[in-house]
Amino acid sequence: MMESDTKAGPVRVLVTGGSGMLGKAIEHVVMNEGLKREGEEWIFLSSKDADLRDLGQTKAVFKKHHPTHVIHLAAKVGGLYEHMRDNLLFLSDNLRINDNVLQTAHDTGVTKVVSCLSSCIFPDKITYPIDETMIHNGLPHDSNFGYSHAKRLIDIQNRGYFEQYGHRYTSVIPTNVFGPHDNFNIDKAHVMSALIGKTYKAKMEGTPVTVCGTGAARRLFTLSWDVGRLIVWVLREYDEIQPIILSVGEEDEISIKDAVEMIAEALDFKGEIKYDTSLSDGQLRKTTSIAKLRRYRPDFTFTPVKEGIKMTCDWFVANYNSARI
């Protein structure tokens, strides 16, 4: 897709949410792994550049950079209890952000938009493995219904822009992403990064690590750099409007207990690991199917989770003073 665009004129890719974990992963693979092509310009926005909840600021930043392509990662996100307390705010803020970005992309003639959804959009009551056709088959979990519905509506908007204008706006659904530049705050982070932050803190203080639940829940953990590589591929090659799941395969699913042990090894934590079985494990499985991804990219090799954990732990220790904790 972008090869022909490059011949027609310069390609300018605007990445919203560019300072977050996935934005930094895309920046890494584009700038450091040779994925940047001749004639391309990549712009990574942060919330300091524009408040995308504000239509005027959104229009101004598009006018400043004149993007031909957009990777839309920006979102209002928070920890579980923040979502439970402020579902309406997560709904309204994310609706504004997404509508402003997609409407401004349309108004300014952007060729393609790839938006990032979340695995939390899937129905709470569902059969496994989950695939892309199941997004709208039931209500999402009550705990973050505002955020989930706002993300689901991107898929509806993409369909609308295609049917009415023929626009190639699409979306990706990464699952359980972790990696450098994530939020490692124990209360606000996703499970892998929270466990890394918690284990490192316990090592520094000489205290045990307490894990919520039994450790039996199983997840598909995917390194951010792998997701970044695949998002660049989606931008260039994937022509469907329907979303595509970006995740390691079912054979790479591990338990939370496995993850904790890999983190302890990576951080050389020798202390006690306790499991607080009075706390919920949450959903025991959230297995997703990557049959669609495998049809398109049978050649793609994901980073083994143990290797990804070691790399992320090394980055966290090296950048502890500037990391989000």
Catalytic residue ranges? 147
For 318, which DSSP code?
A: H
Parallel/antiparallel/unpaired status of strands 40-44 and 69-72: unpaired
* 226/216 Cα distance (integer angstroms): 26
Bridge partners of 114? 71, 170
- Alpha-carbon torsion (135, 141, 145, 151), positive or negative: negative
Residue 94 in contact with residue 75, Cβ under 8 Å? Answer: yes
Decide: 64 and 37 in contact? Cβ < 8 Å. no
Q: Are 285 and 221 in contact (CB under 8 A)?
A: no
Tokens of 305: 């989770």
DSSP-derived letter for residue 101 is: H
CA 79 to CA 182: how far, in whole Å? 13
Q: Quick one: which of 256, 257, 269 has its CA closest to 208?
A: 269
Sign (positive or negative) of CA dihedral 195, 201, 204, 205: negative
DSSP class of 322: T
